[in-house]
Structure 1
Amino acid sequence: MRIKVKTFQELSLKELYEVLALRSEVFVVEQDCIYQDIDGKDQKALHILGYKDEQLVAYTRCFKKGDYFDEASIGRVLVKENHRKHAYGHIIFEASVKEIKSRYNSEIIKISAQKYLIKFYESHGFKQIGEGYLEDGIPHIEMLRS
C-alpha cells in the first residue's frame, strides 16, 4: 500500500472526493449510521491516504493537540471492506502515529475508538480510559497512548 500524507489545502479535488466517498461508504452506508460525517474539522486535519493500485483503500485523519482533543489525536480510521484482510488498517494506523510524532512532536495520542476495535488499538499501544459512551449511535471508548 502506498501512503500519501496531505493537509486539507494540499488535497486535490479528486482526492477530497475519494476521501469523502470512502468515509460515506464505510461510516454511513456500511455501518448504517445516519449522522453527519462532514463535521467542519477536516480543514484542521492532516489526512493520511492509503492507495492500492491507484484506489483509495485506507484512510485516517490526524490532529495536533488542541484541534480535536487536548492531546494529539487520530480519527476516521477506515479500510475499504474488501481490503481488510491485508492488514492495511495496521499500516495506515502506524503511518498516522509516525506522522503525529514527527509533525507534532507528540508521544501522547488520544482516540475515540469504536468499542469493537479495542483489541486493534491495544495492539498499537493504546489503553482504555473512562467509561464507554455512544457517539453517533455507536458504542465508543476513549483510549490513550503515552
Structure 2
Amino acid sequence: MPETAYTVDLRTMDALSAGDLYALLKLRVDVFVVEQQCAYPELDGRDAASLHLRLIEGGELVASARLRTPPQPGAQARIGRVVVSPDHRGRRLGEALMREAISACETTFPGAPIALSAQSHLRAFYAGFGFVATSDEYLEDGIPHVDMLRPASPRSTDIP
C-alpha cells in the first residue's frame, strides 16, 4: 500500500477558520451521530479547551482527533473523537492518526499518561499503541466502550 501524503495540523478551536471548524464538526457528526446512529451531544463544550489534531490531504480533512489538556500537573491527557473519513478508510489513516496523537500528547503534555474511552471492538487496535484497559465494558450512548490508559512515556521513540 503506498504511503499516504497527508499534512498534520494541530491547533486550538479558536485558531481554526470557520470553514475548517465546520469540516471538523461535520466529519464527527457524519460518523458518530449519523453513521453510528447515535443521538448524543456531539457539541459537548470541551472543544474550546482542547487541541484539534487534523490529517489533511489535498486540502481535505481525512482524519481527526481531539486532545484534552490534563486538568492539573500529573493528571491524564485524553485522546477522543478519533475519526477517519468514510471516504478514506482502509488506508491505515487510523494508525497514522493515533501515532500523531500520541506524539502530540507526549510533546505538548510531557510526562502525562494518556487516557481514552475506546469502543470495545477497537480494544486490540488501541492496545497496539500501548493502551491497557482500566475498566470493565460499559455502555456509552448505547455503544459498548472500555476505558484505556497509556502510561507516561519518557520518550516518544516507543510509538509503534
Q: TM-score, normalised by structure 2?
A: 0.86
Decide which of 57, 79, 87 is 2:62's aligned counterpart.
Answer: 57
Decide which of 76, 86, 98 is 2:91's aligned counterpart.
Answer: 86
More helix by share: 1
SS of 1:9 mapped into structure 2: helix
Percent identity, aligned pairs only, is: 38
Partner of 1:45: 50
Q: CA deviation at 1:82?
A: 2.3
Number of residues of Structure 1 aligned to a counterpart in Structure 2:
144
SS of 2:135 mapped into structure 1: strand
* Counterpart residue identity of residue 101, structure 1: E
Which portions of structure 1, spanning 4 or more consecutive aligned residues, are displaced by more than 4 angstroms?
A: none
Q: CA deviation at 1:107?
A: 4.3
Gaps of 5+ in 2: 1-5, 152-160
SS of 2:78 mapped into structure 1: strand
Which structure has the larger Rg?
2
Partner of 2:34: 29
* Counterpart residue identity of residue 6, structure 1: R
More strand by share: 1
SS of 2:79 mapped into structure 1: strand
Decide which of 123, 126, 132 is 1:121's aligned counterpart.
Answer: 126
Q: TM-score, normalised by structure 1?
A: 0.94
CA distance in 2, matches of 1:44, 1:60: 14
RMSD: 1.2
